[in-house]
Every structure is written in structure tokens, then in C-alpha cells.
Structure 1
Amino acid sequence: MRIATFRHDGQVRTGIVDGDQVLPFHGDPTMLEIISAGVDAFGSAQAVPLEKIRLLAPLKPASLRDFVAFEEHVEGVRRSIDGASGVPDAWYAAPTFYFTNPHTILGPDDDVPFPAASVARDFELEVAAVIGPDQRIFGYTIFNDWSARDLQSREMKVSLGPAKGKDFAGTLGPWIVTADELEPHRREGFLELWCTASVNGVEVGRDLLSNMGWTFETMLAYAARDSRVMAGDVLGSGTVGNGGCLAELWGRNGRQDPPPLRDGDTVTLTVEGIGSLTNRIISGPRTAELPPVRRRDPAIARNERQH
């Protein structure tokens, strides 16, 4: 079952996508209400043709943990971002993730405003699991974790992970496919789904989702360890290998080939059994320069505290 959030006649609604039409839910529940109560808790209203609606991000999660579950991606991007080779030993110990910004989530066909100063603009092809009640996976959607690689490379030298290189935008969509619908694709705990990425209609990446090193269930269990994961939270798979992002290809090729994304470029991510997600690149407004950092000699600071 495909469940969408959409705008129709100026109203934001939710409904079941069935072929070339959508069946709106009675009472216009939010996606979080549907996830929490179950699809069967809401009846459907009169069908609306898909061509008459505007798909939106299926949900705005309270939290979005983005994992890095593809070994091939780690190897290629490390070489591109910081010049290192191989995969860190720590990657094999646990499914690492970072928190990205849930307040800048975009939807299908939205323009993506990159930081104006960034010249190494990139996409990341991922599948995201949407968490339901009782820490079960409710469904899956496509996630594009947009990346300003030049900003990311600079700030990760501080060893805190990506910040302004990531938090300007992320895209979810085109809808949520319930977990039961993808069960026929499960092989040894992994979903065997082809994932492809195209820039301006030219395919640049293709990989199987089943090449993940960790299952979504393992990542969910790890996310919940010593913490809380709530219904409606989202877990990103991390970027698929074999061209799931440009930076991986830059690392392998030793140069920025294919070139970074530019204003006007369109990126389409397609995942078997889920659908396709397309966005256009633009530049956000230019921002003011930061004031210079206040430099303090640590020895002087310690001496002042002692007196």
C-alpha cells in the first residue's frame, strides 16, 4: 500500500495511492496519526486523480537518523572527503548514524536550495524506514540526503561530523510504501531492491539495497539502545554504493567526474517497489561572512583560572 501526503484544492490531505488516483482519508488525519493508529482506522473518501494533486513530503519526522550502511560508499567517500583509504575498523563494530535536520525536509519536485557558497554540490541515494508503534517498521520511502561536499570536508576536520554541509535540505518521497508490500523482496533479512540515480536524465549510479551491511531491523534496535525511537521517526539507510552519490565517484576517479551539481540540474532517484523522486537544484540566498574567531592561548586561559 502506498500512502501519500498531498495538496488538493488548497488543502493538505493524506490518502492511499491506487494506480492513477488517490483515495483521501476521511477526516484528513496527519501521516503521524495514520502511522500511530494504523491505516484501517480511517475510511476513504471519493477518489481524486493523481494529476489533480501535488505530492508533498510524506511526513515531517520529529527525528531523522541517517546511517552509513554501505561499505562501498564509505570507502569511496572517505577518499573524496579527507583523502583516506579503506573503511575504518569502527564501521564494522556498529551501525553508525548522525542526526540530520527534520525542519528542512522537502518533497517531490521541490527545488533544493544549496548554500550559495558551495561549489561541490551532491546528492545521496538512500532508502528510509519509517518507524511505527512498538518499534516496528511501518514502511519505506526514498531519502535524498543532499550534501555540500566542500563545506562538509572543511567542518568534518573538527571530528564532529557533517553540519552545514548537510542541514540545508533533505528530500523524502514520493510516498510511504507499507512494509508488508515489500516483504516479497526480502532475502536473508535484506530487501533486494534495485536503486538508481540519474542527473539530467543520465544514469550515474545503480546498486542493490540488499548490499547493506546492516538490516533496517538491526539499525532500529541500535538506535533504540539506551535511547528512545518513536512512531514517525525515520532511519536512513545511508548512501548506496556504485554511484549512489557523486563524491564516491570522485574518490574512485581521482577527480570531480561527473561534475558537481549546478543550478538547474535535476536529480531523479528511483527505487524498485517504491517509486521515483525528482528535484531541481537552485542556489539559496547568499549569507554574510562570519566574524573572525576569538583565539585564546589555552595556557593563558588555564593560568587565568588558577589566579
Structure 2
Amino acid sequence: MRLARFRHDGRVRTGVVEGDHVLPFEGDPGMLEIIDGSAEQRTAGPVPLDDVKLMAPLQPRTLRDFVAFEEHVEGVRRSIDGSSGVPEAWYDAPTFYFTNPHRVYGPDDDIPFPARSVDRDFELEVAVIAGPEQSIFGYTILNDWSARDLQRREMQVSLGPAKGKDFASTLGPWIVTADELDPYHEEGFLDLWCTAQVNGVEVGRDLLSNMGWTFETLIAYAARDSRVMAGDVLGSGTVGNGGCLAELWGRNGKQDPPPLRDGDVVTLTVDGIGSLTNRVVTGPQTGDLPPVRRRDQAQARAERQH
């Protein structure tokens, strides 16, 4: 099934997408109720997709983003800090960070980048939606938008990314349940072509099966010494071969293609799932921070001894 969350006649609803229609669920259950199995799933009459506004298919409980593509790591690392190759630690386990579940956008939404950022980028990913008992409920497309100049600066502190990432993520256009993609499985991986276009021009293309770890492994590792709940979203990380601009900048030694600008339209397409389109805009201006309090460390130690 393809499960969508949408606005229609002033109501936010969920339903099953079939062709060019959506069949709303009776009683308007939330997507998390559908995922954890607590909602009945009786559908009402069809509504044309042209008459609804698709939204992000769910508001995730948490949003983890992995970095499971070796080629992406190599290219972006060179772009961000000038390093070459892939860190040995990458091969030990599937690394991830938590990003902001409260800034999730949906199909055709404008994406407000921080006004202070000029090195604006997209990231083409597939996200898995966890079901009960760490199962796989389904998949959707994830665009992990990135302000590379902010990211480059803040990660010099060996922590992050933070403000270079937490302003926006896009999910959509719907959730494709896991059974729908069973025919694409090859030795545990999903053999799906993923493409990225900017203003109608293709800039990246890769196979999802080039991941270093399966989605099952990502969920299992996230749950190690921790907890993964139904409705948690876990991103694959950015595909290689142009899954983001920064990878190409690192390989080309210059910003070619150029960073995203206001009005640029980014479309991500994944076989078996669909397409996700958004337009880039500039968010509101922000004020300057107060200056940091600098302290002489020797003096501070002396003061603690008295």
C-alpha cells in the first residue's frame, strides 16, 4: 500500500493512494496509529489526488540520519574539511546523528534556508519507518537539506552537525509499505534507482543497493543499548554519485554545480516509491549572538584553588 497524509476540506486526513485517487480512512486516524496497529483501516470513497494537498506522511517520533554510502562520505569529507578517503571508523558501524523532528516538510512545500547560509544543498536519501518490535513498516523519500557553510564551521568543534541541518527535512510523497518493495530485494538490499534533479537537470543518480548496511541493520544498531519505537524514521544517508552537491564539489575541486539559490526546484525520485519536489527560499533574518565570554584558563584554575 501507499499511505498518505493530506489536507482536504480543511481537515488533515490519512488514506491509501490508488492510482490518481486517495481512499481516506474512516475516523481520520493518525499515521502513527496506523503504523503501530492501533487504528482500524476502513476506507471511505475515493478523492482525486488533484483535490488534496499532500503533507509529510507522518510527524516522526524521532528522526535519525545515517551515512551508509561510502562514496558520499569520501566526496563530502573532501568538501567539508579537505580530508581524503573514508575514515576507518566508518567501517566499524553505521554512524548516525539525530536531526529535528519538528521541522519536517512535505511535498511541494517551500524550504526556508537560514538567511546566513549561501552554500545551500540537498541530500537524496530513502528513509525507513520502523514498525512494532523493530520491524520495517515501510519506506519514504528523505531530503536532508544542508547549509554547508554553517555545517563546515560548527563541525570544527568535533560535534554536530547542528544548525547546518536542523532547519528542514522533507519526507514524502507517501509511505510505501515494506511488502510493496519485496520484488526489489537483492541479497538484503533494495535495488532501486535514485535520481536528483535541480531545475529539471539531473545532477545525481545511484542505486540504493550500494548501501554499506541493510535497513534491518540500521534499525538493529539504532536499538542497541537504546530503543527504537514504531513511527521512528531512519534515513539511509545520502546516495553516492551526485546524491548531493557537496559530494560533487569535493570531487570537482570547485562549486560545480553551484549551491542552491532562491527559486531553485529540487526533485528527488526513487523507483518504487515516487517523486518529491520542493522549492528553495530564504528564511527570516536572525540577529547576532552576544559575544562569547572568554576566560584565561590559567587564571580560572588559580581561582578554583582559592
TM range (shorter): over 0.9
Superposed, 1:10-49 pairs within 5 Å as 10-37=10-37, 41-49=40-48
Deviations 1:158-184 (A, max 9, x none): 000210000000000000000000011
Superposed, 1:245-284 pairs within 5 Å as 245-284=244-283
- SS of corresponding position for 2:117: coil
Give the counterpart letter for 1:17 in structure 2.
V
Give the counterpart letter for 1:128 in structure 2.
A
Match of 1:59 in 2: 58
Give the counterpart letter for 1:154 in structure 2.
R
**TM-aligned CA distance change 1:38 to 1:191, over 3 Å:** farther
TM-score by length of 1: 0.99
Instruction: Give, in angstroms, the shift of residue 302 of structure 1.
Output: 1.5
Instruction: Give, in angstroms, the shift of residue 38 of structure 1.
Output: 6.8
Match of 1:96 in 2: 95
Deviations 1:85-137 (A, max 9, x none): 00000000000000000000000000000001100000000000000111101
Give the counterpart letter for 2:227 in structure 1.
R
Distance 1:272 1:134 in 2: 27
Q: How many positions carry a matched residue from both structures?
A: 306
| Residues 1:159 and 2:167 are matched in the alignment | no
Q: Percent identity?
A: 79
Question: Structure 1 segments of 4 or more deviating over 6 A?
Answer: none
Match of 1:133 in 2: 132
Distance 2:302 2:62 in 1: 42
Instruction: Give, in angstroms, the shift of residue 306 of structure 1.
Output: 1.3
Match of 2:305 in 1: 306
Distance 1:263 1:285 in 2: 13
Superposed, 1:140-179 pairs within 5 Å as 140-179=139-178
Give the counterpart letter for 1:27 in structure 2.
G
Distance 2:286 2:3 in 1: 38
Instruction: Give, in angstroms, the shift of residue 42 of structure 1.
Output: 1.3
Instruction: Give, in angstroms, the shift of residue 303 of structure 1.
Output: 1.4
Structure 1 unmatched runs, 5+: none
| Residues 1:192 and 2:191 are matched in the alignment | yes
Instruction: Give, in angstroms, the shift of residue 257 of structure 1.
Output: 0.1
Match of 2:229 in 1: 230
Match of 1:220 in 2: 219
Match of 2:78 in 1: 79
Distance 1:222 1:5 in 2: 29
Deviations 1:9-42 (A, max 9, x none): 1100000000010000010000000001178x31
Deviations 1:40-77 (A, max 9, x none): x3100011011110000000111001000000000000
TM-score by length of 2: 0.99
Distance 1:152 1:159 in 2: 11
Distance 1:214 1:101 in 2: 23
Distance 1:81 1:206 in 2: 21
Give the counterpart letter for 2:119 in structure 1.
A
Distance 1:162 1:223 in 2: 18
The worse-fitting range, judged by mean Cα deviation, of 291-300 and 117-126 is 291-300
Match of 1:295 in 2: 294
Distance 2:212 2:274 in 1: 23
